[in-house]
A and B are shown apart, each in its own frame.
Chain A
């Protein structure tokens, strides 16, 4: 089963526009992470946000977490063609799921030059 569900499944924008991707999850979490995957390649970690945090920034990336709604969003500002990739959220929960990441199905982002 997948903890994270991402929305939209695909997003197509023009260079310079902002891109927002959403992730919803079902059970309480210790942290939520966002990863990027270029076509057929390994995943690259972008940001980790812990359950007691509400917002984090890294360069052009902004991640928010709302634990009351069990949701997170990833905002990429001033997008570039090089941002074209699949983006995955992954959650780490406690209990028997401690130490294990559960991934969503991903959002495919296409940025047109």
Chain B
């Protein structure tokens, strides 16, 4: 079974809808991250979490919010989706800062 899972894997929604993307991990890591990837670009950090009680904004947090429900779960919400949020979204975990990150398979989100 995959160590980092994301649901849904694909989602098509309409402008103005609220969307939640979920991430679960079985690696026992405290650090979790949400990234977005646009075609031909690298990943950009949306939010990251040191542990359940510590959540921080990344490079592009506007229009997004997150919830760390437990060590194993980190959810990303788009309160009112807009077309330029169409992208591939990745969740990642790491054991500690300065270590490698482990990525989920991604969620492809399309906002019409």
Whether A40 pairs with B42 at a CB distance below 8 angstroms is no
- B29 smallest CB distance to A (angstroms): 12
Pair B98/A30 contact, Cβ less than 8 Å: yes
Q: How large is the interface on B (under 10, 10 to 19, 20 to 34, 35 or more residues)?
A: 20 to 34
**A interface list, Cβ under 8 A from B:** 1-2, 4, 30-31, 33, 35, 40-45, 48, 50, 88, 90, 92, 98-106
Using a Cβ cutoff of 8 Å, how many contacts connect chains A and B? 62
Distance A1 CA – B45 CA, assembled complex (angstroms): 11
In the complex, given contacts A40-B106, A42-B106, A45-B102, what are 6 additional A-B residue pairs having Cβ atoms less than 8 angstroms apart?
A: A31-B98, A42-B4, A43-B43, A88-B42, A90-B43, A105-B41
The docked-state distance in angstroms from the alpha carbon of A98 to that of B100 is: 14
**Cβ B42 vs Cβ A48 within 8 A:** no
Cβ–Cβ < 8 Å partners of A104 in chain B:
42
Contact of A33 with B42 in the complex, beta carbons under 8 Å: no
Nearest-Cβ distance from residue A9 to partner chain B, whole angstroms: 8
Question: What A residues does B42 contact at CB under 8 A?
Answer: 2, 4, 88, 90, 103-106
Asked whether B43 lies within 8 Å of A100 as measured between CB atoms, the reply is no
What is the distance, in angstroms, from B102's C-beta to the closest C-beta of chain A? 7
Given that A40-B106, A92-B97 are contacting pairs, would A101 and B45 also be in contact in the complex, using a CB cutoff of 8 Å? Answer: yes
